[in-house]
Amino acid sequence: MVTKPKVQALDVEKIRQDFPIFQRTVRGKRLVYLDSAATSHKPKSVIDAEREFYERFNANVHRGAYLIAEEATAAYEAAREKVAKFVNAPCKECIVFTRGTTEAINLVAYSWGWANLKEGDEILLTEMEHHSNIVPWQLIAERTGAKIKVVPITDDGLLDIDAFDRLLTERVKIVAVTHVSNVLGTINPVQEICCKAHEVGAVVLVDGAQAAPHLPVDVQAIGCDFYALSGHKMCGPTGSGALYGRKELLEAMPPFLGGGEMIRTVTFERTTFNDVPYKFEAGTPAIAQAIGLGAAVDYLTKIGMERIRAHEIELVAYALERLQEVDDITIYGAALPEQRGGVIAFNIGDIHPHDLATFLDAHGICIRAGHHCAQPLMRRLNVAATARASFYLYNTPDEVDALVEALHQAVKFFGR
């Protein structure tokens, strides 16, 4: 019998009061939200920060010569500073606001990739990448003639470091690796990867979509060249995200999108570009969203990323044990909670994950089912799809119990 952890790392009941969505019910039941890997909920402070922008100082940034435009610019740039501090970037100019991880990776693929890759070069990816860290590289490989190589995973869901060592030759110009897998939950040794990649002269992009919301991130300690994150997965608004890049790399890179804001002078013959990060922020940016992301960073920082991580380890450990009680369950990924982030992917016999998700929905439980934008990984796991429960700072052991109880019922319902 598994003992239920008393959640000590965080006062979850208090935290839940910060999230207005938990006041609602779904299908007459308490909302059990286990899909934060897809998108997290937003605390009131984030919702209020966006509302305050629109209600009190809605104006475009970096242009207006009047008070509310100055206030908008100050709030937007303060948000950049907060994100920089959150990932321990050495300067705020190293942070480019993007719509999320996908756009951040595309920015690097198109801008850095276009300028630096050529035929014979290699782009090293891993078998556990999300499509957003595969497809942009394929598009740029097609245009430049560079080749994609893939580091496999081991049977226990970890990155095969021996294979990485073998594949990492001087032909590799960029390694693009997820910090935390959105399916297996695996936390990759990104510091070691960066160190080894730099020895052969390659740069490293870390996809932090599933890490930045859940663990303390220090881009200088990791030693990465680029780090991408999504605001909406870390309590911030949709349409918010950021790319960290080493300043000298960003400065040497050509622009990604052209338009207003990113220029210094324009004539029909020639355009000169703005300094970083503005060179990469063409057009009116997502101002309210960036300010909301700043508020999300404040919120997470106040709670403490170490405590959030400790809470998730506790919860995942409990969930991994309790899920073993379910008949015919297969859980994917590492056995130890310390090796994984807050996601647990699983299948139960031959019940289709979509059927499971629909069954759980009737109990007010939200999980994800599908290929999780990781079709190559699904192929490696030899499945078409999985169910996935993902946890965050507002989840409780009671919700794990609710999930396990509903899964027992699903097994009976589907006659397994």
C-alpha–C-alpha distance, residues 113 and 147, integer Å? 12
Rounded to a whole number of angstroms, the minimum distance from the CB of residue 254 to ligand PLP is 22
C-alpha–C-alpha distance, residues 25 and 2, integer Å? 29
Residue 328 burial (CB count, 10 A): 11
Rounded to a whole number of angstroms, the minimum distance from the CB of residue 58 to ligand PLP is 25
What string of DSSP letters covers 218-281?
A: -HHHHT-SEEEEEGGGTTS-TT-EEEEE-HHHHHHSPPSS-SSSSEEEE-SS-EEEPPTTGGG-
Rounded to a whole number of angstroms, the minimum distance from the CB of residue 214 to ligand PLP is 11
Rounded to a whole number of angstroms, the minimum distance from the CB of residue 320 to ligand PLP is 20
Give the residue from 212, 215, 216, 279 showing the smallest Cα distance to 242: 212
**Amino acid, res. 362:** A
Q: Map residue 122 onto helix, strand or coil.
A: strand
* Catalytic residue (one of 194, 224, 235, 373): 373
- The answer to whether 91 is a known catalytic residue is no
Nearest residue (CB) to ligand PLP, 57 versus 97: 97
Handedness of CA 285, 286, 291, 297 (dihedral sign): negative
Q: Per the structure block, which two tokens stand in for 100?
A: 């999320």
> Are the C-beta atoms of residues 163 and 355 closer than 8 Å to each other?
no
C-alpha–C-alpha distance, residues 342 and 234, integer Å? 13
Distances (CA, A) of 156 to 153, 357, 381: 8, 25, 10
Helix boundaries (H) for 268-365: 287-303, 305-323, 353-361
Rounded to a whole number of angstroms, the minimum distance from the CB of residue 179 to ligand PLP is 8
Chain positions contacting ligand PLP, by CB under 6 A: 100-102, 130, 132-133, 178, 182, 207, 209-210, 230
Nearest residue (CB) to ligand PLP, 7 versus 374: 374
Rounded to a whole number of angstroms, the minimum distance from the CB of residue 339 to ligand PLP is 16
Rounded to a whole number of angstroms, the minimum distance from the CB of residue 94 to ligand PLP is 20
Distances (CA, A) of 342 to 16, 101, 224, 265, 301: 17, 18, 23, 47, 18
Nearest residue (CB) to ligand PLP, 12 versus 187: 187
Nearest residue (CB) to ligand PLP, 102 versus 274: 102
Q: What residues are annotated to the active site?
A: 373
